[in-house]
Structures are given as structure tokens and as C-alpha cells.
Structure 1
Amino acid sequence: MDLDAFAAEHGPQWRRLGILLARPRRKLTAAEVDEMVFLYRRAATHLSIVQSRSPDPDLVATLSQLVLRARARLSPAPGFRWATLGQFFTVSFPGEVYRAGRWCAGVAAGFVGLAAVLIAIVASDPDVALRFLSPAEINSLVEHDFEAYYSNNAPENFGFAVWTNNAWVSALCLASGVLVLPVLYLLWSNVLNLGLTGGIMVGNDRADVFYGLLLVHGLLELTCVFVAAGVGLRIGWAWIAPGPLRTRAQAVAVAGRSAVVVALGLTPVLLLSGAVEAGITPSPLPTVVKLAIGALVWLAFLGYVTWFGALAVRQGRASDLGAFDREVLAPTV
């Protein structure tokens, strides 16, 4: 393609679009707005043609900037609104978690079941724990380390460390979901750690300390991990089995956008979990009271996701991008 001839033929249209974009919005007439829409569509088509046939860097950059400016003028961002934030936490986030509910429940069932088996094996056979830890390390864990872990540091520092660590684990589950195996490895690492520690504590008659501390924050914390892992594995399954009406790229894109919504929504939930672990778990409150607080927070989260998520699904309200924003369609007029 002759770029000079192409630019000479369509250059007046590009310059006219630039002139219209330079004018204040309130000074544009209705006819000029219609003209701007037409020229924007033509410029988008020209950009697509140049990129596909003769991608000259300078011309591509010029047309890209022009098209982006026109699009921003014709569909300006609404800016921050409290209603948008409210919609995110009442529709988008719970809706996406609810839609991935079977994946999350499957991860939870597998995790808890395998952890229970490992705890039983380690508790019934002391030699199993000795393959991982020395007798001195086991004694230190039982007598001091497990309980001291929750109170060795200042609550605010410990809470922040817990929050960032759990957020990192959840982010890894979501980001590596398309590969499947990294998510399974992360889950197995946590199951092994939980099973080994729990088995040692239970086998040494410290089950009350183990469950009395772990369950206070662990109910909500592990639920967040199950959600992240379930949504991450759903991305991997979208790549494996995209369905008859979508390409793999489209299926992964939809699942990936859902994962971004879940990642943002889990951030404050993990912050709450970290606050419970730092402030309630090591507190001098009676164990029954601490367990009641942890269970109440956990049930509140489950109720919130179930109620608002089911409502969003019944009403057909999704958090995904509109069809126009999902892929770039070059106009042909």
C-alpha cells in the first residue's frame, strides 16, 4: 500500500476530525457532533487498514492518538461515583463469586477433606512428623511456637503482614489459574502445612489450642483462598473447555475479567480476616467468645455473597464489559 497516497487521500478527514476535537464541547452543533462520529469511525477504519497492511510507526501513532481522543470525547468516562462502588459490592463481586460457587465449593471440599486425612495420619503415627521436623522442633511447636505465633508482634504489624500474605496467595491463585498446576501446588502446600501442624498438635493433646486459635480467623481466611483458587481454576477450565460458541481466547478473557472483579472484592475481606487474626485470635477473651466472633464474621460473608450473588444472577446482572468494549471492531463505512 502506498502510504503517501493513502495519507494524501484521507488526510483532510483526519485534520477535520482534529479541528472538531479541539473545539469545546458546548460550541459544537448537532451536525458537527454527527460529523465527528462519522470521522471517528473512518479514522478507526483507516488505523485498522494501516496496521494490517503497512504498519508505519509514525502514521500508526498519529492515527491511534486521534482515534483515542475522539473516543474519549464521544464516550467520556463518568468519573467516580458512590453508586458505582455500591454496585460493585452488591452486584459485581458477589455475583461473580456466586457464579463460581461450584468451583469454590469443590476446592473447599477437597482441601478440608485432605487436610482432615493428613491430620488423622500424623496424629496417629508420630513417626510421620519426624520425617519433616526434629523432636526438638516438634516440642517447641507444641509447647510454645504455635500459640506464640499470634502474639509475637504488634497487632497492627501482624495484621498487615497477614493481610499482605493472604492477598499474595489469593493473587497467585487467580493469576496462575490458566496454568492449573500452580494453583494445585499452592493448595497442596497449604494442605500439607495445615495437616502436619494440626496432626502434631492433636497427637500431643493440644487439639483445643490448635482449633481454638485456627478457627477464629481461619474460617474466613480459608474461604477467601477457596474462592480465589476456585475462580483461578475456572480460568484454566475455560482454556481447556471453552464451549461450542466461544474461542479459547474469548472464554479465557471472560473468566479473566471475572477474576479481576473477585480479586478487587477479596481485598477488603482479607483485610477483615487479618484484623480478626491480629486482634481477636490472640486476645484474652474466652475461646467460646472468640470462636463465636469468628463464626459470625464468616457466616456474615457467606450470607452476603449468597444473598446478593443469587439476586444478581436471577436478575441477569453481570459485571462483564459491554460487547462494544470486549474487542475492537473496525467500522467499514
Structure 2
Amino acid sequence: MKQHDFIQSRQKQWSDFAEAIKDPNKLHEYDIDLPHAFRQLTHDLAVAKSRLYSPALISRLNDLLLQGQQCLYKPSNRVWAPFWQFVKYDFPAQLLLIRRYVIWAHILFYGLALITFSVTMIEPEFVRNVMPNSQVTQLEQMYDPASRIDETTGNYRNERDSDSDFLMFGFYIKNNISIAFQCFVGGFLLGFGTLYYLLFNAIFFGAVSAHIVNVGFSSTFFSFVITHGSFELTAIVLSAAAGGVVGMHIIRPGQLSRTAALKQAGKITFPIIFGAFLMLVVAAFIEAFWSSSTLLPNAVKYAVGSACWLWILLYIFPRNPRSGEKSS
């Protein structure tokens, strides 16, 4: 689409957005979904940049975005307002800019995990190619329902002490962040490092899940991972997507020097990595204080976990902007 046609198709929406944000106190008077319009404007800016439209148009859209951010910012709460703005607007808008990387990272991770799961279901011994026998034994003991029963009383063992929960919370954060960090930093190796860590974790996840099903401990395992897994696995995949952006900027810097391309990649991916970090903290908290609980019925865990997965998918894959353009 030529620049003139692009402007003609979007001019009214830009004008409505500019008019609506002139006076934040009168937003209720305008028939406009400001967060949706803000995400749409972010998409328009990405399209304008990818098609090398005029600097004047790009500057205009940048200015509109800045004004929109100031309008959405709520100074009445200076502690939580920036955080809330990031979670509700900035992070999803940035994910939209790298949407194709996010989609491909999900396809690669869950696609290979599903293949590995199927292979391990058919050939149970395959799991021993992924982890040593000692780790397989430890895994079985961890999710064996019998391990939760007190042999003396025949009842479920007591919950962990709160001190132990906090220790596990710290352990989970450290472990999860190290995996996400590897997926991101691997992008500096022309993206091959990112690809390696993403696929390795996909194979590991698929093989472990299938082995647990094979030995008959699926109820214990899936009720444990379903809730925190929505945040944890998604954060790892998003970190890999950010690593892919870095790798592609190194491989194809365009008219920029590779140093300048890396700086540009950093500006794009920093919000993604920060958002993934927040998701990993949430995942670690859920894993330590919710997933490990033996008092909660599995039905409750499945219900809450399913709701978390649905919310995560709607959050990172929002409804396509109504411009009719494909995400860049």
C-alpha cells in the first residue's frame, strides 16, 4: 500500500484519537476505546517504519503515541500508575510489534514439545535420552501420589512450612529467570543460541510430561503445573522471541550499522524481557504457594489453571487491529 493510501485509510482514526486525548477529563464524552486505539496506533507506526514511509509521518505517529501515553498515565498514583500502564498498555503494545516472532516461538516450542511427547508415549525409554536415570527416578518420586500419603496415618502429609515456601519461591525465581535469560542472550549468537535453548526446553518438557503419563502419575503432575505453567512457559517463549529479534537485527541490520541495529533491538526487546520477568515472578509465587498445596482439590487447580491459560493467550494474542493490515 502506498503512503498516500495508507494515510487516507487511517486518517480519521488518528484524528479521533488526537481529539480524544486533548482533555483526559472528558474522555467519557468520546465514543472511542482508547486502549484499543493506542494499540492500533502502535501497529500503524510499526507498519510505517517497516514500509519506510516518510520521516514526517513516522514523527507524527510517534508524537501521537507519546501524547496517548501521557493521557493513559494516571498521576494520582505515582507508585502503581507506571506499573499498571506498562502491564495494561505498553507490554501488549510491544508484543504486537514483534508478533511474528512471538507466534514462531510458540509454534517451535509447543510443536516440538508435542512431537517429543508423542515419541515418548510410543517409546517410553526415549526419556532416558533427555535426562539421566537418576533424574528420571527423582522425577517419579516427586510426582508419585503415594509420596504425599503419611504411611502412619494414611492421610495426606502436612503442608510445607511458610519458611520453606519462601525458600522455594526464591529457588523457582532463580531457576526460571536463568532459563529465560539463556533464551534471550542466545540471540547474540546470531539467534542460534536462542533456538538451541528454546528447542532443548521444548524437548525436555515434552519428554517429562509423557513419561509422567506413562507411569500413571498424570493427575499429580498436571494439577501441579497447570496454573503456574501458563505464566512460566509463556515467559520463556517470549524471552526466546526477544532473542530472535536480537539475532535478526544482527543478521539483517539493514541500512544501520550492527551496533546501531543492536541498540534498536535493545529498545524493542527491553519491555519484553521486563514483562517476561514479571510473569516469572508471578509463576514462582503461584508454584511455591498454590501449586504445591495438597489441601486444594485438583478440580480447583484445573479450573484456575485453565482460566490462567485463557487469560494469557488473550493477553499476548489480542484481537487483530481493525485496520485490516497484517501485523509486521
TM-score (norm 1): 0.60
The Cα offsets for residues 182-217 of structure 1, whole Å up to 9 and x where unpaired, read as 212211331232122222212223333332322221
CA contact (8 A) 1:95 1:310 kept: no
Residue of structure 2 aligned with 1:93, choices 84, 88, 91: 91
Deviation at 1:92, TM superposition (A): 2.8
In 2: Cα distance, 1:263 partner to 1:129 partner: 31
Contact 2:223 2:302 in 1 (8 A): yes
Deviation at 1:85, TM superposition (A): 4.2
2:234 to 214, 223, 226: 223
Superposed CA RMSD in Å reads 3.2
TM-score (norm 2): 0.61
Q: Quote the residue 1:192 is aligned against.
A: 203
| Separation (CA, whole Å) in 1 of partners of 2:133 and 2:280 | 35
Alpha-carbon contact 1:95-1:309 (below 8 Å) kept: no
Contact 1:174 1:259 in 2 (8 A): no
Q: How does 1:104-143 map to 2 (within 5 A)?
A: 104-131=102-129, 138-142=136-140
Partner residue, 2:283: 273
Gapped regions of structure 1 (runs ≥ 5): 1-79, 315-333
Contact 1:91 1:308 in 2 (8 A): no
Contact 2:108–2:199 (Cα < 8 Å) also in 1: no
Out of 246, 259, 262, the position equivalent to 1:235 is 246
Q: Indicate conservation of the 8 Å contact 1:159/1:275, yes or no.
A: yes
Aligned amino acid, residue 235 of structure 2: C
Change (3 A) 1:240 1:290: same
Q: Shift of residue 304 of structure 1?
A: 4.1
Q: Which residue is equivalent to 2:225?
A: 214
The amino acid of 1:145's aligned partner reads M
Counterpart amino acid of 2:272? V
1:15-164 matches, within 5 Å, as 81-82=78-79, 84-131=82-129, 138-142=136-140, 144-146=141-143, 154-164=164-174
Query: In structure 2, what is the equivalent of residue 64 of structure 1?
Result: none
**Deviation readout 1:277-327 (Å, 9 max, x if unpaired):** 11221222122211222232343344444559969xx9xxxxxxxxxxxxx
Q: CA distance change for structure 1 residues 133 and 276 in 2, over 3 Å: closer, same or farther?
A: closer
Cα distance change on mapping 1:164 and 1:140 into 2, 3 Å: closer
**Which entry has the higher C-alpha Rg, 1 or 2?**
1
Q: Secondary structure at the match of 1:285?
A: coil
Change (3 A) 1:305 1:198: closer
Per-residue CA distance 1:250-274 (angstroms, 9 max, x = gap): 3321111222222222222211111
- 8 Å contact from structure 1 (residues 97, 309) kept in 2: no
| AA partner of residue 232 (structure 2) | E
What percent identity do the matched residue pairs reach?
24
User: 1:133 and 1:160, CA in 2 relative to 1: closer, same or farther beyond 3 A?
Assistant: closer
Aligned-pair distance for 1:133? 5.9
Alignment match of 1:177 (pick from 166, 187, 205): 187
Distance 1:301 1:112, change over 3 A: closer
Inter-CA distance 205–156: structure 2 relative to 1 (3 Å threshold): same
Counterpart CA distance in 1 for 2:215 and 2:205 is 15
How far 1:228 moved relative to its partner? 0.8
The offset of 1:89, in angstroms, is 3.2
Q: Secondary structure at the match of 1:280?
A: helix
Q: 1:134 to 1:250 in 2, by over 3 A?
A: closer
- Matched letter for residue 269 of structure 2: A
Preserved contact between residue 122 and residue 200 of structure 1 (Cα < 8 Å)? yes
Tell me the secondary structure at the aligned position of residue 291 of structure 2: coil
Residue ranges of structure 2 left out of the alignment (5+ in a row): 1-76, 149-158
1: distance between equivalents of 2:252 and 2:133? 48
Q: Which amino acid aligns with 1:164?
A: K
Q: CA deviation at 1:237?
A: 0.7
Query: Equivalents in 2 of 1:271, 1:258: separation in Å?
Result: 22
For residues 124 and 318 of structure 2, the distance between their equivalents in structure 1, rounded to whole angstroms, comes to 45
Cα deviation, residue 139, structure 1: 4.9
The amino acid across from 2:308 in the alignment is V
| Residues 309 and 250 of structure 1, relative CA distance in 2, 3 Å threshold | farther
Q: CA deviation at 1:181?
A: 1.7
One-letter code of the match for 1:262? I
Instruction: State the shift of 1:163 in Å.
Output: 1.5
Instruction: Count matched residues.
Output: 231
8 Å CA contact 2:236, 2:276 repeated in 1? no
Is the 1:105–1:226 contact (alpha carbons within 8 Å) kept by the matching residues of 2?
Answer: no
